[in-house]
Amino acid sequence: MRYRPEIDGLRAVAVVPVLFFHAGISTFSGGFVGVDVFFVISGYLITSIIVRDQKKGAFSVSNFYMRRLRRILPALFLVTFLTVPFAWLWMLPDDLDSFARSVLSIPYFVSNIFFWSEIGYFNTDADLKPLLHTWSLAVEEQFYLLFPAFLVTTVHYGAKPQVVLLIILATASLLLAEWGWRNAESANFYLAPTRAWELLVGSILALSSFRLSVQSANYVSMAGLALVTFSILVFDETVPTPSIYTLVPVLGTSLILIGAVRGTLVNALLSMRLLVSIGLISYSLYLFHQPILAFWRIRTQDEILGFDVLYFLITTFVCAALSWKVVEAPMRRSSFMPARLFLATLALSIAILSLFGVHVVRNEGLPNRLPSIVNDLDEIGSWSNYCLFQIDDGAPRDMPMSDCRYGRDRNTAYAIWGDSIAAAVAPSVAAEFANLDIGLLQLTHGHCAPISGVERAYHRWSSNCREFNKVAIEMILSNKIDTVILMANWDDFFGSEYLDFGGGDILSNNINVSEQLASSLDSTIDILRSNDISVTVVYPVVRSSKDVLRYIQQSLVHQVEWPLVQETRANVLNSSEFSYRILDRISRPITRIYPEAEMCEEGLCTLSSNGELLVSDKIHPTEQGAAKLAKFFVRSMPIKSDIVN
């Protein structure tokens, strides 16, 4: 196929929003769709190249894969090698272990599977993973491994039957994605079966014949560019991806590929020298941007803001241009490096990366690289997950909740019911009650707010919350509990994208659901009060804008003194405003406890200072923080004298 400079221009349109999106520029809230644009382009180009060679009778599987290897791996391995020393110097042990596993996954084209398997409740922030973006390369590589076989085995049927088969496969993949974002969000995002339709759309275009007048092509390509632009500027992270919504950028890219022929406005625009130049280095831009951003955030422990964005863009473009000039472009030519030497170099690179990965993983992230205090903080800064059940623990009725009892020889008059926030403070609350000779029953499940009949919809970790809460209420009633403490990460729960109120009544949080939530809380409290059980509701705990433990550890890695970590009371209250509004609407008689009243003083909330660490991540209280809150709870709650006696 002839060279089409407008496709390189389209690559520029795809990659620049990705950079802006990952840098946190809100105008490009849908910049992530650049990856979807790349998928369509890749499917189109690969199919066009194979079909062209087949028509010439010159297609060779070995030549095809050699071209793919020369195109993808040299720059990818260069970036991977360059990340290693920075990871070694700056990463915490758990993070280096995760990084090493990602390094291991890259040469074997399975990094998308690795990142899918790693995503979970206790994982570090995705922004701090230098090689996270390689998941999309793995999807393409898996496509390249399988798709040529389809074209080779079906070539004798002709293009039309091939197109029909591909339409069926693409439709099945899209339907799977529609099911996936509701039921297996992480797998849906990372894995090839739900992404294949985007590449197959490009393949369908390459196998189809489109004859448009210049005028029609003009309208078609402008409509396509409008759809892509709309996706970049209007979509945001709440849009399920991939899903039926992804058809917007995919269709837009398709219309551009079909219609942006010579003589059209879009062709002239995308063929501009600046855009074509950016498109030529777009692969290296994509490769370098994520490691630069991740290590920037790891080193500074802050978001990239203001002029830092400009520095990031300059650094990324310089690195990408050098990579293109020195590695990417030369390596595509066999005259620069013969096939045998090239394959030997790849084999050696894979061996070195694999040895590094295995060494780091076997040594658990090499903690001895760092000052001992950094490793000691893992224990000091941990939070209790004792009796914190999770979805993988099975059916709620089979969970050993009766074992989650403190002070079996004492009157178990109190229960704490909630999610991981409640679990984090439960042991300290139990210790305070023990001083009063009172026992405590702990009923906690990750991601489950203590509200009867309500759970997050389309959320893997919350799919049995309704049943868990039903069993929790039964436990409370059967144990003749006198007072129940309701505590949760209210901000997280109330801010859920979709909430399931039972009976198929799933509401999007894009509409105001505060009345329904307050009503459900009232109903839950009514169940308890009708059995003469008093209720205490703990308002949101103080939330940090940064991962406190990580911030302290990273500061100490760089030989900085123990930093003071504070949030303004105004910011704390502002971030929890929606939760306060809902909890304030509870109309039943309850005791209300406000953690910020204990954690904040003179407008500032201190989360860590002078060796004291009160919050582990952004929100879970450490043992020190939980002890502080527990004393405050007991002071704030009415303790009945007959219970103490």
- The helix or strand, by DSSP H or E, that contains position 413, with its residue range, turns out to be strand 411-418
Sort 363 into a burial class: Cβ within 10 Å, 0-12 / 13-18 / 19+. middle
- How does DSSP classify residue 110? -
Structure-model confidence comparison of residues 217 and 301, the more confident one: 217
Asked whether residue 547 is assigned to any structural domain, the reply reads no
CA 544 – CA 196 distance, rounded (Å): 39
CB 419 within 8 A of CB 446: yes
Query: Looking at residues 595-603, what average pLDDT do you find?
Result: 94
What is the pTM assigned to this prediction? Answer: 0.87
Q: Assign residue 528 the CATH number of its domain.
A: 3.40.50
- Same domain, residue pair 488 and 522: yes
| CA distances, 529 to each of 481, 535, 642 (Å) | 11, 8, 19
Q: Within a domain: residue 549?
A: no
- Domain end marker among 322, 338, 369: 369
Residue 104 domain flag: yes
CB atoms within 10 A of CB 149: 10
The angle subtended at Cα 37 by Cα 32 and Cα 43, nearest 5°, is 135
The pLDDT of residue 505 = 67
Number of domains making up the chain: 2
Q: Is the pLDDT of residue 510 over 70?
A: no
72 and 153 together in one domain:
yes
Residues 283 and 409 in one domain: no
Q: How confident is the model at residue 160 (pLDDT cuts 50, 70, 90)?
A: very high
How many C-beta atoms surround the C-beta of residue 402 within 10 A? 10
Which has the closest alpha carbon to 21: 236, 265, 217, 324?
A: 236
Give me 100's structure tokens. 């090493």
End-to-end CA distance of the chain: 88
pLDDT in tens, 570-589: 999 999 999 999 999 998 89
In a domain, 9, yes or no: yes
CB 316 within 8 A of CB 283: no
Query: What is residue 559's predicted lDDT score, i.e. its pLDDT?
Result: 73
Segment 616-642 shows an average pLDDT of 89
Q: 242 preceded by cis ω (within 30°)?
A: yes
Decide if 485 is inside a domain: yes
Model confidence at 97, pLDDT cuts 50, 70, 90, reads very high
Place 121 in a pLDDT band, splitting at 50, 70 and 90: very low
Q: Of 369, 402, 421, which residue constitutes the final position of a domain? A: 369
In angstroms, what CA-CA distances link 591 with 33, 435, 573? 47, 21, 19
pLDDT tens profile 161-180: 999 999 999 999 999 999 99
Choose the final residue of a domain: 369, 398, 426: 369
Mark whether 488 and 583 lie in a shared domain.
yes
Say if residue 202 is in the same domain as residue 294: yes
CA atoms within 13 A on the CB side of 308: 13
Using pLDDT thresholds of 50, 70 and 90, give the confidence band for residue 120.
very low
What is the share, in percent, of the chain residues with pLDDT greater than 90? 78
Q: How far is CA 374 from CA 23, 302, 609, in A?
A: 28, 19, 15
Indicate whether 612 belongs to any domain.
Answer: no
Q: Are residues 225 and 305 in the same domain?
A: yes
**Of the given ranges (229-238, 553-562, 570-579), which has the lowest mean pLDDT?**
553-562
Please compute the mean of the pLDDT values over residues 209-222 and round it to a whole number.
93
Q: Does residue 427 share a domain with residue 302?
A: no
Helix, strand, coil distribution of the chain in percent, nearest 5 = 65, 10, 25
Owner of token pair 């911030």 = 551
Kindly indicate the confidence band of residue 2, based on its pLDDT and cuts at 50, 70 and 90: confident
Same domain, 339 and 440: no
- Domain contains 501: yes
- Which residues 6+ apart lie within 8 Å of 339 measured at CB? 66
Contact predicate 513/507, CB 8 Å: yes
Residue 15, judged by CB atoms within 10 A of its CB (0-12, 13-18, 19+), counts as buried
pLDDT for residue 322? 98
- Cα–Cα dist 462/456, whole Å: 6
Same domain for 344 and 414? no
Are 225 and 97 within one domain? Answer: yes
Domain range for 234 is 5-369
> Are 186 and 275 within one domain?
yes
Closest C-alpha to 392, from 467, 469, 462: 462
Whether residues 246 and 339 fall in one domain: yes
- Residue range 516-555, pLDDT digits in tens: 888 999 999 999 999 999 999 999 999 999 899 999 999 8
Confidence of residue 394 (pLDDT cuts 50, 70, 90): confident
Q: Specify if 376 maps to a domain.
A: no
